[in-house]
Structure 1
Amino acid sequence: MKSTLAWISWRLLLSRKTLFGGTAPLALLGLILGVAALVVSMAVMSGFESTLQQAMTDVSGHVQVVKRSRFPDDWKDLEARIKKAEPTLVGATRFVFIEGIMAHNGQISGVLLEGVDTERVTSVLKFKSRVQSGSEDLSAPSDVPLALIGSGLAKKMNLKVGDVFRVVVPVTETVDPNSLQRKVGQFKVQGILELGKYDWNERFVVTGLTAAQQVAEIGDRYSGLLLRFPSAQYARQAGFNLSRALGTPYWIRDWRDSNENLFDAVSVERPAIFFVVSIIIFVAAFNISSTLFVNVVQRYKDIAILKTVGFRRKDIIKIFTFQGLFMGAIGLFGGFIVGFILCALFNTLQGSLGLIAGAVYRVDGISLSIRFTDTIAICFATMLICFIATLAPARRGGQLNPMEGLRNE
């Protein structure tokens, strides 16, 4: 019986009086645009979060173990303690952070020089997928220490692969610890990277650990270890476990810690944006409701005939409810198509038109993505709103007296 009612509803919907007449096309267009706006807004929020997460895990690993002491120690012993506390450890590499000033062709810029263990870095950091030009291999033979630089820094300093630049690092004098002297190191550009974060692209320089230690004159000391685990989602739990196992001499932070405010903002704004944009669907759905009210009036004769041949009030209500749901499904399908087109257009134009201001949003570009949970939420919300909007006209049609419908015929 339900299939028969659905067929009758579909046939009535495709007539000129309903889908192709009156305000129905405009109501359907409004629903399509509302769904498309919801798809794009959720794709932007999800894309921002996933883009920032990918950048953090590719460039800084899942967890950082930072030493509070500057005294050298056995890093292999530290790695063994970490692996004992967290057997899921995939890879670990030493690193050191040094602030300095880059100088090239009369231009200067403040930079953050990161030294990494060239033999182990590939097991933790994922620079290969971020290479714009050159290579990520820092262990290649060279007379001058090799370095990887951010794309913004390369553009600002007019550097290309193969160029040699200098980094000036302040070094504490051994006689007077309150005095500083300059130490200049030379590096050759091995690769230019798109690091995913605006501030990293503008001032990040990556080189071998030994080269960074030599230019800073710190011997075999290092800042800590960068760690990678099977998944980024497990990193926070791993960080808690390591904090308990290693104790106070070490500072543990995961990839989310340094941008906690941004991730919290996304989690708060996502439902708010979903609700605000859903208002467009509410308006479009009640336009569909008004269309169905008009359709009920125009279908008095048809409703009367259906009731005369034995259709019950409940059956008439189902017919008009099916009509509203069919229109909702058409709007939902069309909205997803338009939304996907707009997402593809956004991805194409954001680089050339600078739609994302890196200095404001911390990222230079967003790879829009539609999550499965967002898709389910959009579908459920749209169909629920359309169902609620059809109840009133459907009940009005079900209450029609057959004699009233045939009075003027």
Structure 2
Amino acid sequence: MILSRYERIIAKRYLLPGKGEGERFIFLVSMISLAAVALGVAALIIVMSVMNGFRAELFEKTAGLNGHAILQGYDGRLEGWQGIADNARKVPGVTSALPLIEQPLMASSNGRVEGVLVRGMRVSDMRANPVLNGGVKSGSLANLTPGCNCVAIGTRLATQLGTYPGGEISLISPEGRSTPVGTVPRIVSYTVAATFEVGVYDYDNAFVIMPMEDAQTLLMLGDAVGMVEVKVDEPDKIQDQMGPLTQLVQGRGAAVDWRSMNAAIFEALEVERVAMFVVLSLIILVAVFNILSSLIMLVRAKTRDIAILRTMGASRKGMMKVFVTVGTTIGTLGILGGLLLGAIFLFFRQPIVDAIQWLTGQNLWDPSVRFLSELPSKTDPVEVTVIVVTAFVLSFLSTLYPAWKAASTDPVQVLRYE
């Protein structure tokens, strides 16, 4: 929308506060409208970024440890896994197929007992896993070798058991020796070689990692494993690989993809994400109504000025452009302010959360409830564009009625008694 010189001057004049009390009040309402738009845009960007970050972080951590699909044997035993893994790698789109052993057991140390999830992995796979390697907090995964009688445990589990690298941990397996009085559980002691933190509470609080050969010995699996972990190049299209993968274990086990393994969490996140977008969009809508009300007051306050301008040759179209420009300028400045505010909050999000926790004395981000240890964030440029365009369109639409009222002002009626 191109403005002439006089239209720009008038629009600028109406944007700035006048000398009268009424004009100052209108300016105040306009600034409140601008702040409301900024807060609405910032709130949408912050919430959507945090929700996207939560989903991405959770997916990265879970997929990094559990893969995008698992081929699990019945009764926790998968015989002939080598052939299954080789055939799985031949399926189009599959990038890796790795053997795993996973079994819930009990662990004890220093007189404390905790439920744990023992995971057996090949040493080469363990050291190539970026989630594990990037999360080592103490000790070293290089110490984990077959027959070393050592394990790596999550940091929170280490805290619960009071043991750290160099300490001892005993794993209690119900698969033990048969005696005349029943089966005696096996209790095997291991040295803690390293502690790790992947950022997901359930993993850090329960995982015990050991070489696959040691896990096979502990659980008396022989050469069998519990499952084959499969990763693909396009996780969102995992259904394309599920058919061939299911056939590989037909009659011996089942194939489950990441959607089924974490269905409740990811579906809840998606529903909450949509709900939050709709609810927070109402903030922008309220701000737009503020712009509408401030423009209506401005038109009423400037009725005499509009009539004089009309008698001096100003067109109806020119008057509409002036008030549309005023309203959209307020909305645009609010959008820019919201973008800046949102960027600042997301950049300093964790210090802000820590500061609020310190001031209130409340734990706002309990990892046991929220799964992740820190507030995540991932800003989607497409979503930010949608938010900006939505706010701008609503701001523009809010200017049309006041602009039309200004353009339809009849100078004869207004100036009749002047």
TM-score relative to the length of structure 1: 0.88
Give deviations 1:322-352, integer Å, cap 9, x for gaps. Answer: 2211111111111122222333343225468
Corresponding residue number in structure 1 for 2:12 = 11
Aligned residue in 1 for 2:101: 96
Q: Tell me what 2:387 maps to.
A: 378
Whole-angstrom CA distance in 2 between matches of 1:134 and 1:254: 33
Return the letter of the residue paired with 1:193: F
Asked if 2 retains the 8 angstrom alpha-carbon contact of 1:61 and 1:125, the reply is no
Change (3 A) 1:3 1:372: same
- Residue 24 of structure 1 corresponds to 30
Distance 1:379 1:4, change over 3 A: same
Determine helix, strand or coil for the equivalent of 2:124: coil
Task: After TM superposition, give the deviation of residue 370 of structure 1 in Å.
Answer: 1.9
Displacement after TM superposition at 1:195 (Å): 2.5
Show the counterpart of 2:156: 152
Which piece of structure 1 moves more, 291-300 or 122-131? 122-131
Other-structure match for 2:320: 317
Select between 11-20 and 365-374 the one with higher mean Cα deviation: 11-20
Deviation for aligned residue 1:91 = 1.9
Going from structure 1 to structure 2, the CA distance change for 1:170 and 1:192 (only over 3 Å counts) comes to same
- State the match for 1:131 in structure 2: 136
Q: 1:278 matched to which residue of 2?
A: 281
User: Per-residue displacement from partner, 1:364-406 (whole Å, max 9, x unpaired)?
Assistant: 3331222223212211221222122222211111111234555
SS at match of 2:262: helix
Alpha-carbon shift at residue 109 of structure 1 (Å): 0.8
Choose the corresponding residue for 1:249, options 243, 247, 252.
252
Q: Distance in 2 between matches of 1:191 and 1:10?
A: 67
Aligned to 1:118: 123
> Partners in 2 of 1:121 and 1:13 — Cα distance?
67
What is the SS of the residue equivalent to 1:366? coil
Identify the residue that residue 65 of structure 1 maps to in structure 2: 71
Match 1:198 to one of 196, 201, 226: 201
Counting matched residue pairs gives 406
Pairwise CA distance, 1:8? 4.8
Secondary structure of 1:395's counterpart equals helix
Deviations 1:230-269 (A, max 9, x none): 2432334323442245434231122232221121112222
From 78, 87, 91, the counterpart of 2:92: 87
Give 2:369's aligned residue. Answer: 360
Moved more, 353-362 or 300-309: 300-309
SS, match of residue 58 in structure 1: helix
Q: Distance in 2 between matches of 1:236 and 1:186?
A: 42
Report matched runs for 1:163-312 at 5 Å: 163-173=167-177, 179-244=182-247, 246-312=249-315
Query: 2:360 maps to which residue?
Result: none
Alpha-carbon distance in 1 for matches of 2:32, 2:76 = 69
The letter for the 1-side match of 2:46 is V
- Distance in 1 (CA, whole Å) between partners of 2:122 and 2:384 is 42
* Consecutive unaligned residues in structure 2, runs of 5 or more: 358-362
Out of 327-336 and 264-273, give the one that drifted further.
264-273
Q: Which amino acid aligns with 1:56?
A: T
Letter in structure 2 aligned against 1:151: T
Q: Does the C-alpha gap of structure 1 residues 258 and 179 become closer, same or farther in structure 2, counting only changes over 3 Å?
A: farther
Moved over 6 A (4+): none
**SS in structure 2 at match of 1:191:** strand
Q: Which moved more, 1:388-397 or 1:240-249?
A: 240-249
Unaligned runs of 5+ in 1: none
Shift in Å, 1:103: 1.3
Deviations 1:182-240 (A, max 9, x none): 22223233332223322222111111101111122222221011122224323343234
Evaluate the alpha carbon distance shift between residue 72 and residue 281 of structure 1 in structure 2; reply closer, same or farther with a 3 A threshold: closer
Q: Residue type matched to 2:12 in 1?
A: R
Q: For the residues of structure 2 that align with 1:405 and 1:180, how far apart are their CA atoms?
A: 101
Counterpart Cα distance in 1 of 2:202 and 2:267: 20
- Report the secondary structure of 2:230's partner residue: strand
State, as a whole percentage, how many aligned pairs show the same letter: 26
The Cα of 1:306 is off from its aligned counterpart by 4.3
The residue aligned with 2:2 is 2
CA contact (8 A) 1:60 1:226 kept: yes
Higher mean C-alpha displacement, 335-344 vs 111-120: 335-344
Distance in 1 (CA, whole Å) between partners of 2:354 and 2:99 is: 34
Distance between the aligned counterparts of 1:224 and 1:198, measured in 2? 23
Aligned partners of 2:30 and 2:330 also within 8 Å: no
Contact conserved, 1:184 with 1:215, CA < 8 A, in 2? no
The answer to whether residue 53 in structure 2 is matched with residue 50 in structure 1 is no
How far apart, in 1, do the equivalents of 2:81 and 2:322 lie?
Answer: 73
Higher alpha-carbon deviation: 146-155 or 310-319:
310-319
Q: Partner letter of residue 378 of structure 2? A: S
The answer to whether structure 1 residue 333 and structure 2 residue 336 are counterparts is yes
Instruction: For 2:106, give the aligned amino acid.
Output: I
In structure 1, which of residues 30, 34, 39 is the aligned counterpart of residue 40 of structure 2?
34
Residues 350, 365 of structure 1: 8 Å contact kept: no
d(CA) in 2 for partners of 1:110, 1:144: 23
Q: Report the Cα distance in structure 2 between the residues aligned to 1:369 and 1:70, rounded to whole angstroms.
A: 37
Contact 1:95–1:225 at 8 Å: present in 2 too? Answer: yes
Distance 1:125 1:219 in 2: 29
AA aligned opposite 2:384:
T
